[in-house]
Structure formats: structure tokens, C-alpha cells
Structure 1
């Protein structure tokens, strides 16, 4: 922990919620050249920092969103190059503040400022000279505060910028302005300060418009061809005082901007022109959008006037996939874009409406997929620290969302939620176990299990206390198989799968994984959690499985989970597999699962010998299915299987998003089963190459930048079922090749070409 001498400072005036803070100081003389300068900085709100007129970093929306009550992250920047060559010159340190998550709107009830009423900055600049002398510049009462060009800023509602108020003089020496005021010391517990574990948010791409046109209502619309997250950079010139308004949305409805799914989020940026050539970029907000509506543009809008700037936590892309079916390839791309859009400091549910919360169930379902597509180990390790912090304050309960702003919403307005009083709930709370385990499998890094073991055990122990006398987790509120496609639009809780069945089998899985973790780490709790798992298995079979192997509620999801989690013995597993396949066929190979069952249904079919049904489910194009949204032009994964109806109208439910990654969890099956690459040991220290061609696909390939180096698998099938397989393993990595109908083959590092035979019926 640094030796802090800074204090949190807040401006004496709020200045439209976007104040500027500055401090000008002369460098100490007589100590030679500056050899190193380091800035430690954070804020209550979001900040952008400048030193001698230049940005300190290319990051945006720092310090992001964490469980501020216990964790406020700070950034460390090497700013040596920004001090220049003159060690005697004055230094100007400037900080621009915005509301961000700390003071902006959060949740769907219209509330704001749940963490505090005042914005504040906390910074400490250490300048080291050639003779070893260190000069420290800190935030304190000597700073001043003034107005910026930002008139309003909110993550949900957008940003207003008046270019007539722009003046960079505040970043230069000698700045004096009577509008500027003093600052006062705010409240900050230094014990909450913690360095980032995960990556910062940055601009990661730019997307040009693909079309500009006039709608039937006479509105100017712009299509960027991709549903994305970020904002628009605008180049414009017009008479001073002209107002240009940009409204954002994910879809069109009746050839106009489809804004109803935004609910109360305005998603609107407003720019007031200076009369000169202006460039606007609203960096204190973000939007989820593919389309923009432009109002008030001076003259004719040209495509080159607008650029969509994509922002996300900076993640390295690691996993690729493609196959002979272009619709499946688009589904995979949609999952990639959904990850990019929703991994914005917190793994959110959606990036566009008045929500954007860290729903635990979404990431519990999607982590295996995300960990293949991107290197997310530090991103999620950071978030898991918030999970643990929230648990410590809630007697082990894992909240519906992390950071848990809903508890603050309810504290302010007890009637604000339509849910019962929160407690542990299956899948959602299981994220405390499933996410670290998935990271361990993907990366082979024990730190995540060591760091989270207390959180993992606290979750299972909490659930133990909630069980009924029968040993079932059939008490309290459950999301169950949320968004089962048969549930009515207005009530996504009404799934076919019995919520007690879902919850109990999820407890079995979590207890089993915690026992495995205890064994791996050498903790003495292993026996306890194995006993919990076995008791849960016994109760599940006794109360939920009848003599014919039918599971209570007889729904696709209950069989998929029971099979995938291994709660059944071999005979019952076979019975469950047969019944699962029957239900899938009776449903015409349309999706019949929600958030709980969808990540596991294709695996359950595969392991019980129904690969053809798994492929038929994957390749179904009618609604509900994975490919239906693709046929409707989707470029991200939808929240609902029918977020848009076949006639092009938006689902009538109040809760409808077109960028939700959870139902895209099938891409994990694409990687492991279709392309055929999975870890035999955590972190791909040893790999399983086991492609299972089917569905008429003639080729597939995947590659992964594993912790040990690049791994690649590709296969093709010729007429008659002749299979050609190519595998590349990095130095020090071995594997097992498992082809249909053949004995396993051991392979070592290097490139391998193998052949086999696939049943003609599958190709």
C-alpha cells in the first residue's frame, strides 16, 4: 500500500456535475533532471487526468465501477515523459470529473447518487530527481475548481457539451479565472483504496457508418452495421449556438429508431456548436447502439462526419472459431461482440437500457465461453473480489447483481423492487463457485481458487442453511430457468422447469466443485463439501426422480442439468438422455430452455449419445432458436429468443435487450465439440482433441492462445465421411486425439495430420 499523503477533494461548486480541478506547482530546484514521475489517481465519479496539457493515459471511465463501500480502485501511471525537459518549469496537473457510476443513475427506478452526493478526486504525483530527491504533489485544499464545457453527463441519459465554453487555458501555467472556486476535503476511507486487478476501459475500435438516410417520418438515421457499445465522435461546423442531438438505439421498428427497449434511459447526446470546426466526443457516458438519429445537423450529414468509437475493458482476443455454416459463424461473432459490449469494467447484463448491472446469473452461464474468446482472467478476478466483499457484508449471500446497488436502491425505497427480499438463488449466486472454477479450467492459474475459496465455501454454507428438511433447495425466491421461451413476455419467471429441481441440482454442482477445490488446495473442508454433495444427490433422486427416470416437471432444462452436472447414476443418466432427446424432438428442435438450461443442453445431448439432436437444435432457424436472431440480422446475442418478432416488431415485454451474452453460451460447445478442442488439464497443459462432426457441416476450425502457447484444430469431411484432421500443439503440451469409432491416440507438441471416418448420416 502506498504511503498516502493526499486527501480527497471536492469542488466548492458542482459546475453542472462535470467540474475541472487543477493545481499548478513549481518543481523543486537544485536536484538535477527528473528521472521518474509517477501518478496515483482515483475518483468518486469518473475522471480524466492531464499533466502539462496532455492526457495522462488513453483510458476512459476510470476508475470504473467496484463495490465502492469496500473497494475503490486507483490507477498508477508513469508520467515521466509528460514533464518535459525543463526541470525548473511549472507543472500543471488537471483532473476532469464526471458522475459515472458513483453519482449517476443506476437501476430502473430513476434513482441516482447511491454512493454519494459529491464528486471528488484523489491524486498523488511523485517526482524523483537525479540526486534521489522526491517531490510529492497531492490533492489538498490548495487546488481550485472550475466549469467545463460539459453541461450534463449520465451513463444512461447521455452527455451535453457546449463547445462555446471550451477553453484549454486551465491546463496551462498562469491560468486565472474569477469563475473558479476553491475545494474542500471530502470523506474517503484510505483502507478502501486498492490497485486495479483487471484492465482499464479504453477505446478499442472505430466503426464507420454504412448508411445514412431519411426515415418515413423525416428523421435522419445512421446505421453503423454493428450493434456496439461506446459513443459517436462528431466532426461538425455550423453557426454558433446550433444544437445537434444524437439519439441511440439498437434496432429499428417500423423504419424508425426503436427506443422502447431503452425504457427510461434517454441515450441522447447533445452538442452545442462554437461556430468553428468542432469535434465532440462524449467520454462521460456510453451507449449500446447500432443506429443513431441525428437532429439539428447544419447542412447535409455525410458519413465521414460520424465515427462510432467502441469502448470496452481492454481484453486480449484468444479464441477463434469458424465452420462451413455462415449462420453459425455469425452466431459466434455475435457472442464475441456481446462480450466486448458487456465486459465494460463490470460483466453486465446489457449496455443500453436503464440497467447495465453485473447480474451474477449471466456471467455464471457465460464464463467458459468468455474465457475461451478472450483473456478474462484478471477482468473476472477483479470482479470476484467485489463478489466476496458483498458476501462479507451479507452473511455469505451472493447478490443478484455485483456490485450490489440493488441493496442501496431498496434501502432508499423499500418498495422499489418487484422481487422478494433477496437471498441466495441458484445459478445467480452459484457464480461465486462456477466463475472461479471456469477460470481455473481455462487458465490453470491457482490464484483465482486461492483468492476465492472463502467466497466459494461461504456460498455453499449459506445455501445449506436455506434447505428444507428434505434436503432440497426448494425454499425462497428462485429465478429458475429464467426466460424460458414458453414463459409469457410479461413474466419471465414462469418457466417449465421446476425451480426447486434447478436449485437443488445447482447446489449439487457447487458443492462438488468446492470439494474439488478444497482437495486441490489442501483444505480440510473437502470431506464436508463431499458430504453436502452426496446428501444433495440422494435428496434429488429420492424426491425428484421417479421409478421410470422422469424428473419432476419433465422439462428439457431439468434433464439437461441433471445430466451435465452428473447427479444421476449410469442407468438413470441413460434414461434421462433418452427423455431429453424425446422432448427436444417433440419440440421440433426448437429451444425450450432459458438462462439455466441453455448453456448445458447441447452437452447433455452429446454425452448421452444424441449428437444428431444437438446439431439439429444448434442449426434450427425458426424461432425460438440460436440462429433465428441471425436470420433477423442480429449482430449480437439477444436477451430473449424473440426479442424481435418475425414481423419486425419488438417483443412486447417491458424487458427486451438486443445485446445479452448469456444465451450465447452455446459457443463453448462449438469450441469443444464441433471444433473439438478442450482442456484435459487446467490451462490446456494437456489437451483433448475430439471433434464430433455432424449437422451437415463439412469443416470447422478453432484456435486458442492458451497459457502455454497457440493451439489449433481444424477438420474437414469429404463425401463418404472421410475425415481429415490437423492439430498444432505448442512446445511442452501433449494431447489425446479422440475420433469417432477409433481408439484414443496420444500426440505431442508440433503439427499433426490424422485421418478418420465419420458416419455418412452425420455429414
Structure 2
């Protein structure tokens, strides 16, 4: 149990009184208010209760009792007896199935509870009314090991006498074909199935259970012709069977269902459902060069399109979805084998409202074909779907591009949080890639409450591990076979990194305790792969995937052995830290403290091996690549202060040499800014953060992006689409930057698990006038805001709100760190500007000075491109912004026209005035 206190002025909790069902009271001592253990006797399954709360202040005062919180226990204790139901005549055509039965309900029934699960996706209706607003339930779990069930109170939907139970069922994730190209195949099964039990409680205390075998019949002859997550959905209104979900329907032409027992006991899953979250109207209708009609919804969304249409019988409307346009037409090339087409055939009996039910798409543009009569843009709405997560974090600042970047991360999280954390929502993939989840988990926790969401996925990760001797597949659930059954650093390390992040952000010790065996199994497997030398240099690695300076995604400049060994250290250290949180035995771990010490020693062995093999006495890494330096510094592989300073200086040098354009991929990017900021290189961090040239965080924003891209250059500067067969425009991995915006720019971070202690340490980015972050911590809302004094930019006002029950460590640059309790605060801080960002430069300035001046590199590149794009590309490819050479001399190497050089000089001189 958790509760949040809202208090005006200083107030501290000394105890709590909890009241169950208005009668039974428990007294709790202490100030804890987050994830407090249940103090009452265990509850019976399927029962309704209420809980309210009264708090005791440290001055002895009592708060009023809270409003009672009603709840239903959704778990079961009795075995699941209902069999799986499916259509008796299997077909491979991805046909959805309708199932129905009827029952008589006595007047003595006081409560009705529906338990249901499926191999596939389903919805149940009672007397024609859907039992809830959940979609694509029960989601996607590792079907062979874990099957989720839902518990729904359907008492209000039943009536005395005859009632109808009706199910709409489709294959969803269960029957989808996974893999790439000709290797794509169904992994789980060919036919969806559903299992249903209705529990009726009578006034005399007797319980009646109606299982799935009781009179059920099925058909595939319905308006649902076919459905697939990748293919889309085809419906035909002429095939509707009116009244099929109501009592007294003649189902004599339907088939008796096929039944089979469930292979495992379904379980209640603690996670928010998928719902319709909102609707978006199209902003424009376009006519493409080929003459097609295309709707533009203004931004990339995940869901489907609903429309209302009136037309003649057999008129066929086809919707085709895509994220971007290419040469003015839908760019379906990026979808690969996912056709993403929804088709509907009209009955011709008046207006019809159409919305697919068992599929979803990632799209901004929708091509509409077959529309009868005059086209009506107002007839369409994009219905946004995702797991119904609660928003908890917000960021704002004086730079609109950064705010747009942050919003793009929010939208990508929404689009990739649909039943499980996925890599993308549009092409023939949409899988739970472990590497993507690992790098993005901190940003996700900064934006939404994802504790249960990631916690459920981690359960599946643990189950997948058990068959593999501790190895974590690169996708969870694993449906790719040998393609994903590899031990890859940064991907398998989701087993250690994600539980550690959830514990840090939510204080969820129970989840950490549950995942520790999985964490240990992965670390042990990785240690075995590395061998006794403690350097992980064998086997396949993804490495710093999608390094923009590399020729191929898996050929990053950072040596894969350096990256893998860094992650081996990181995970071993996280495991040791996790074990140190526990005081009692856990699963197979008998003595957490002894195991913590053992893994801590192993971590030191890895550190020593890493330093001995990869670090030179001069403070360079043998793998002289930005990602290698970022991981080494961020993970603490080198501890000696002067050596860390040398490594950070080299990292900054390499980034400047590249014009402060991004030079890291999936694994290096989340850590590069922390590595710079924690080691005296704030100027380089600022230049990297605010860069707008390709590749950079802000480049996609300048190109109109509304979500995060998979590649830094998914769209090229000329507006063409990256020619790779792997290009997504809604891929949240590079959105890891959002966590840095919250923790560093906003200056609000957890200093103890669950934000029980906060760290307030804003990074006063010199190019920003202000920034603010709000976060709904488990203890309540925390805020940090800072703003420069317009009359004296070297003076900054900082304000903070610290929620009740917490402390905050305040770290400001002009005074020693100090600690405050709950309340609101404001400080005035002396924060002198560094000067390099606004220095005057010309074409005769040193290359390094030009690069260190805000926006100067972009000015040079764009000015060259105005005269000759090919010349600009050539210059950007070879120039190294290092000291000792003037920009004019470097420009001479590509022989630009004199007018171009003069224009560059004029614009560079104007930079200081503009800033």
C-alpha cells in the first residue's frame, strides 16, 4: 500500500491508521508511506473491500480519514477448470472467431465475476455490452510459460432470466508470423482459443461456476474476414449477424466449439490494460503525384483509424498506413512485410462507423481508396492506443527545440508501450528487444509510472532465461529462434539494469528481490562467456549498435570487447548492490550479504582486467572511440581522479573533432552526457546537446520529427528516406536523452530508492534562459525550476518543492552541498558564464575555437550546402575540428567559391551578435 501526503508547511508523519471495510483498524508506527506491507489477514479471492487511512503527525495531530478506496481482489485460489475453446474447423487464413452461449440467471444471484484468458486477443460481451474498455487483451506474455487472465465484475450486466455471453476472438500475437523475409513463420500456433468461467454467487452463499464447455457455439462467418497485427484487418458489413450477442439468437447454423485443456494455470497480471487513450483529427488531406488521397494526422501516432461512411452495398474502402512520405507517396518500404492495410466492405444500409478491433498501426499518413461520393476529411479520426500508463514527469525550458525533443520522447514511449515495451510499432517487428528496453528504462521512469509495466515484462524475461541456462535472448518474448538466442552485452544486461532502475525510481524492493535470481543467472552466464581473464571478447556482440560514424549497424568504432567488458562490470556491480539491499534469504540465494561481497570482489577483478588491458598510462583507451570513453566513465571503471579527467578530456576532444555531432549508438548515447558533466566537460556536453546538424538529438526535430527515430538519419538532410531496410520513425532507444533533461538540465534526480531522498543539482546550460522539471514521485510531486536574471545572466534563481516524507540534497555551484526537508525553497545562485559559447570567430579562427562556438559548425556546413551540397558533404566528411589549423585553410581543401567563404565569414561574425 502507498499513499501521498499533501501538506502546507512543515509536516512529518509519525504513524498511520489503516481501516479495512470501515471496521478493522491497524496501527502502524513510522514515517514510511510507500509500498507498505499489508497489515491485515490475507484476503479471500474475488471479494470486494474498501480501505481508508488516517495519519499521525510527529506533533501527535491526526489527519481526517481519507475517502475510502474500494477494490476487488482479482486473484483466484481454486484451480482453473474451464477448457480452451476454439473453432472446430481450423483455417490458416487468420480469421477471427465469434463464440456465444446463453444461460439462465436466478434472482438470487448477488454477484457475478467473469474470469477469462486467451491464446490470442479477445473481448467478452454480456447481453451485447462489452464487459470493459480493455483492448487486445490479455496482451502478450510468454505463452508457453505464463498466461494472463482477467477478472471482471459483470454483476451490473446480468439480468434475471435469459442472458447471452458472447466473445470476439482473433489471433493477435499468438498467431502472428515472426522473423524476417522468407524466414518469417508462426511461432506459437495457428488458431486462437479462449477460456471463460463465470462465477455466480447466490444470496444463500452457494457458488455456481459456468465453464467454457457449457453450450458454447462458434462461427467464422462474421463481419471479421481476416485480421493480423502486421497485415491489418478486413471486415465486411454484409456478413454481420445482427443480434448474435443477445439472448434468444438462433445459432443453429453455428458449430459446436472444439475444446482442449489449458496447459498451464493462468495468473492475474499486475499491469495496466491497453485502452483507447485519445483521438486526433486529420490536419490536412493531400493528393499524391500518383493521384492517391492521403490524410495527414499531423504527427505519428499508434492505433487505428475510425471513420463514418455512407455508400452503396459492396463499396470497398481501403486504408493504407505509413509514418512518412517518400517522393510524395506513402513510404511503405520502411514497413517491410507489414502491409498495414485495413479494408471494409459496406452493407449499403445507411451510415456505418468503422474501426478495426484486432490490429494496430504506427502512422501519420493514411491513404484512402474507394471512398464513395465526396471525400469528407471530418469523417476520420485517429484512435490512439497504448497501455494506460500514468504520466508522472514533465520538462520545459526556453529552447523550443529541446521541448519538442522531449515531447517526441513522450510520444515514442506511448507508441511503444502497447502491452509490452517494444522497439517500434509499425513494421514487421514490434518486439520486446531487451537492448532498447534497457537503454530507455531510465527515461521511461522519468515520464510515466512504468513499475508494473516493466515488472510484468521482467517476469517474462526471467521465464525465457530458465530454458537457456541464464542467457537472456535479445527479444522477450522470444519468437525469433536462433536470431535472438545469443548472449549480447547491453541486451542481456536488461536483466540487471531494468530491475535496478525500477528499484532506484520506485523503491520497489519486492520486485528487486523477485528479479535477483534472474540478475544472478545472467551475470553468471556472462562471466562464463568472458572466461577466467574477465574480459568478454568472445562470441557475437551487437556492440554500440547504430553508431552513426560506422558503415554498418554492428560495426561500431568502439571495440565490442571493450563495450561487453564494461557491461560485464556494470551488471556484476548492479547485482552486488541489489543483493546488499536484502537482509534475508531470497530464492536460491541463501545469504545475500555473502553473495553481495562475492560479486563485489568479482566486479573489482573485472575492473582490474579492464584497466590492465584497455587503459594506457596517458589516460587513453585502446579503443579510441567516444562510446568506449562514455561507458568507462559513466560505469566507474576508472576511479583515480586525474585519470578520469584525462579520459573525459579525450572524450570531449573526439566529440569536438567531429563537430560535436553524435558519434555514439544505442549503448553509448545514454551515458555520454553524464560522462562529460561528471568530469568537468560541461561545455562539450552543452555543444553536443544543442547541436542541430546531422547526426544529433535536435536534427530530427529540425526535420519535423514528432517521435524519436531509430537512426540519427532515418530521414536524410535532403528529405529522402534512409535507404536501409531497417528504418523506423518511432523508436524510443535514442530517447534516453529525456532522463538527462530531467536529472541534469532540470536538476531533479533520486538520491535514495523511490525518491525518499532527492538530489537537486541543475545544470545551468549557458544557452538556456530557464528550465523546469516536475515529477510525481511515490511521495508526491517534486519540482525544480531555474531562471537566469535578465539583467545579470550570471545570476540564477533556483526554486524547489520537496514533498512530505522526503529530504533533498541541494548541490549548487557557489556553495557547499546542504540538505533540506519537505517544503518550498528558493535560492539565488552565482553561475558565471564560461564565455566559449559566445566567443567571436571568423574564417581565420582556429578550427577548435570555431567548433566551440555555439552553432558555428552548422553555419559553415549549411552555407557551403547553399552553394554546392556535394561540396558540403565532402567537407563534413573529412573535416576534424582540432586545434592548430585555421578554418580558411581547411576550407581551401575543397576549393569553395570565394563568395562562399566570404558568406561563411560574414555569418560567423554575426553569430556573437545573434547570441
2:95 counterpart of 1:20: no
Q: Secondary structure at the match of 2:297?
A: strand
CA contact (8 A) 1:245 1:271 kept: yes
Aligned to 2:910: none
Aligned to 1:498: 559
- Cα offset, 1:20, TM superposition: 0.5
Aligned length: 743
| Cα deviation code 1:113-169 (max 9, x no counterpart) | 311122111011111122222222110162100232111100001000101112341
Aligned to 1:413: none
2:391 counterpart of 1:317: yes
Aligned partner of 1:241 among 299, 314, 336: 314
Counterpart CA distance in 2 for 1:217 and 1:165 is: 33
2:566 counterpart of 1:485: no
Q: Secondary structure at the match of 1:343?
A: coil
CA contact (8 A) 1:714 1:727 kept: yes
Counterpart CA distance in 1 for 2:676 and 2:659 is: 15
| Cα deviation code 1:521-571 (max 9, x no counterpart) | 131311221121011001101111112121122000000000000010223
Aligned to 2:203: 130
Q: Secondary structure at the match of 1:346?
A: coil
| Cα deviation code 1:425-473 (max 9, x no counterpart) | 1100000000000001111110111110000000000011111443200
CA contact (8 A) 2:147 2:264 kept: no
Counterpart CA distance in 2 for 1:554 and 1:149 is: 61
Aligned to 1:551: 621
Aligned to 1:536: 606
CA contact (8 A) 2:122 2:168 kept: yes
Aligned partner of 2:794 among 689, 709, 721: 721
Aligned partner of 1:382 among 425, 442, 456: 456
Aligned to 2:515: 452
- Cα offset, 1:105, TM superposition: 2.4
- Cα offset, 1:237, TM superposition: 0.8
- Cα offset, 1:481, TM superposition: 0.3
Q: Secondary structure at the match of 1:169?
A: coil
CA contact (8 A) 2:446 2:738 kept: no
Q: Secondary structure at the match of 1:720?
A: strand
Aligned partner of 2:819 among 708, 728, 746: 746
Q: Secondary structure at the match of 1:622?
A: coil
Aligned partner of 2:112 among 12, 37, 42: 37
2:251 counterpart of 1:189: no
Aligned to 2:82: 6
Counterpart CA distance in 1 for 2:275 and 2:163 is: 26
Q: Secondary structure at the match of 1:462?
A: helix
Counterpart CA distance in 1 for 2:261 and 2:104 is: 28
Aligned to 1:296: 370
Aligned partner of 2:488 among 418, 421, 425: 425
Counterpart CA distance in 2 for 1:761 and 1:324 is: 19
- Give the number of the structure with larger relative contact order, counting CA–CA contacts within 8 Å between residues 6 or more apart: 1
CA contact (8 A) 2:103 2:162 kept: yes
| Cα deviation code 1:184-237 (max 9, x no counterpart) | 11242133x111121111111111101112112111011111111100011111
Counterpart CA distance in 2 for 1:605 and 1:167 is: 65
CA contact (8 A) 1:141 1:182 kept: no
CA contact (8 A) 2:101 2:214 kept: no
Q: Secondary structure at the match of 2:547?
A: coil
Counterpart CA distance in 1 for 2:174 and 2:186 is: 6
CA contact (8 A) 1:590 1:622 kept: yes
Counterpart CA distance in 1 for 2:180 and 2:429 is: 6
2:468 counterpart of 1:394: yes
Counterpart CA distance in 1 for 2:185 and 2:344 is: 24
Equivalent residue runs for 1:156-171 within 5 Å: 156-171=230-245
- Cα offset, 1:94, TM superposition: 0.8
Query: Structure 2: which 5+ runs fail to align?
Result: 1-75, 584-591, 838-915
Bigger Cα displacement from structure 2, 753-762 vs 548-557: 753-762
Counterpart CA distance in 2 for 1:471 and 1:761 is: 42
2:580 counterpart of 1:507: no
Q: Decide whether aligned partners of structure 1 residues 95 and 14 sit closer, same or farther in structure 2, where only a CA change above 3 A counts.
A: farther
Equivalent residue runs for 1:559-574 within 5 Å: 559-570=629-640, 571-574=642-645
Counterpart CA distance in 2 for 1:671 and 1:373 is: 9
Aligned to 1:261: 334
Structure 1 residue runs of 4+, over 6 Å off? none
Q: Secondary structure at the match of 2:608?
A: helix
Aligned to 1:650: 721
Bigger Cα displacement from structure 2, 175-184 vs 596-605: 175-184
Counterpart CA distance in 1 for 2:357 and 2:653 is: 52
Aligned partner of 1:406 among 480, 485, 505: 480
Q: Decide whether aligned partners of structure 1 residues 530 and 294 sit closer, same or farther in structure 2, where only a CA change above 3 A counts.
A: same
Counterpart CA distance in 1 for 2:628 and 2:260 is: 52
CA contact (8 A) 2:785 2:799 kept: yes
Counterpart CA distance in 1 for 2:280 and 2:444 is: 23
CA contact (8 A) 2:458 2:495 kept: yes
TM-score by length of 2: 0.80
Counterpart CA distance in 1 for 2:207 and 2:238 is: 40
